[in-house]
Amino acid sequence: MRSHRPISAAITLASVVLGATQASGQSAPHLRDIITPHRAIYDIRLARSDEGSGVSSAAGRMVFEVTGNSCDGYTMRQRMVVNVGDEDGNLGKLDFQISTFESGLGDLYSFDSRTTMNQETIEAVTGEARRLGSDIEVTLKAPAEKTVLLDGSVLFPSQHLQAILDAARAERHFLTVDVYEGAGSGETSDEATAAIGKATATADDDMLGAGLRQWPVSIGYFETDSVASDQLGEELPAYQMSFTLYENGVTSDLLLDYGDYALTASLEDVEQLARADCPSR
């Protein structure tokens, strides 16, 4: 199984997102209260499996929860448990868990993720990223203690989601930014290219309520450390996801594409959670 990612990147300013760095005299993008705190439950199924992928079946559930506000910051928790079958009929239980915190000022992002297969840990990444001057300093505790520096223009997941929503509202159909989620080894950011479709409105019987705008979104993640910047357009993304994005930050109809196999995540239930109001900045 390949590395899994938090859907907050989707699940993750239009005027500053393409180059907001402290080096250029601009502060990091602040979060605004455009993301509604909520708990969402998804049904996970196998959408596609190529020959040799090692995955012949998949079924499970995913719970995603985001709480907080733009002044106190946002806390995200996600857990996905999937029963996975291989070509020989062997079954395994994949359990992916992650919790993150992102400050409203955009200067701190902490993360703790763990992936197990049949209760055996196959990947664990823990650390925090802080904006310091023109750089972002990432301090990792796992998989190994290490400090790495990233460019200050890199966005954190909630900043990325906010940027996509801002682009969608402005009827901009493409957005490319560097994003840091703490995925994989936790040592690098990815270049994320989003394609945003035309807005429609939710129906009267939609579980989120009638009249909300929604957009089809597809994001490709490119590993910038392994590909020269002038070759990114010629490379296939390491990971892709597509989904319907509602203007309150909720996502539905997810397709999580890992290359040789893909999973769907269908929204079964969503509950709006309380949010304390922030004083105006």
pLDDT in tens, 145-163: 999 999 999 999 999 999 9
Q: How many domains does the chain have?
A: 1
| Residue 11 confidence (pLDDT) above 50 | no
Residue 158 is assigned to a structural domain of this protein: yes
For residues 229-242, give the mean pLDDT: 71
CA-CA distances (angstroms) from residue 213 to 86, 266, 275?
40, 19, 21
Residues 167, 175: contact at Cβ < 8 Å?
Answer: yes
- Arithmetic mean of pLDDT, 246-263: 92
Decide if 1 is inside a domain.
no
Domain contains 279: no
**Residue range 187-200, pLDDT digits in tens:** 999 999 999 999 99
Give the per-residue pLDDT at 236: 78
Average model confidence (pLDDT) across the chain: 85
> Could you tell me the CA-to-CA distances from 44 to 58, 61, 253 in Å, in that order?
7, 5, 10
| pTM summary value | 0.84
Phi, psi of 24, deg, nearest 5? -90, 5
pLDDT of residue 25 exceeding 50, the answer is no
Residue 225 pLDDT: 60
Report the pLDDT averaged over residues 250-258: 93
Is residue 262 within 8 A of residue 253, CB to CB? The reply is: no
Distances (CA, A) of 194 to 72, 85, 105, 179: 28, 31, 24, 12
Q: Is pLDDT of 35 > 60? A: yes
Regarding predicted confidence, which is higher, 101 or 88? 101
Distance of CA 164 to the CA centre of its chain: 11
Q: And the tokens for 254? A: 């997810």
Lowest pLDDT segment from 68-72, 86-90, 116-120, 268-272: 86-90
Mean pLDDT confidence for 21-37: 65
Res 276 pLDDT > 80 = no
Q: Is the pLDDT of residue 279 over 70?
A: no
Contacts for 63-68: CB closer than 8 Å, 24+ residues apart? 63/39, 64/7, 64/8, 64/11, 64/39, 64/40, 65/38, 65/39, 65/40, 65/273, 66/8, 66/35, 66/37, 66/38, 66/249, 66/273, 67/37, 67/273, 67/275, 68/37, 68/275
Q: Calculate the alpha carbon distances from 261 to 45, 57, 154, 185 in Å.
A: 11, 10, 29, 21
The domain of 144 spans 7-272
Residues 198-233 have pLDDT tens digits of: 999 988 777 777 788 999 999 999 876 654 445 545
User: Is residue 115 included in any domain, yes or no?
Assistant: yes
Q: Give the rounded distance of the alpha carbon of 166 from its chain centre.
A: 16
- Output the six-digit token pair for 61: 């559930």
Within a domain: 117: yes
Contacts of residue 9, defined as CB under 8 A and 6 or more positions apart, other chains included, come to 157, 160, 161, 179, 181, 192, 219, 221, 241
**pLDDT surpasses 50 at 91:** yes
DSSP string, 222-240: EETTTS-GGGGGGSPPSEE
- Reported as type and span, the H/E element at residue 53 is none
- The answer to whether 3 touches 184, Cβ cutoff 8 Å, is yes
Residue 227 DSSP symbol? S
Considering the domain boundaries, does residue 280 fall inside one?
no
Report d(CA 121, CA 144) in Å as an integer: 15
User: Could you tell me if residue 75 is inside a domain?
Assistant: yes
Does residue 185 belong to any structural domain of this protein?
yes
| Residue where the block lists tokens 């079946």 | 57
**Tell me: the pLDDT tens digits for 70-89?**
899 999 999 999 999 988 88
Residue 122 has pLDDT above 80, yes or no: yes
pLDDT of 277 reads 76
Q: Which residues pair with 134 in a beta bridge?
A: none
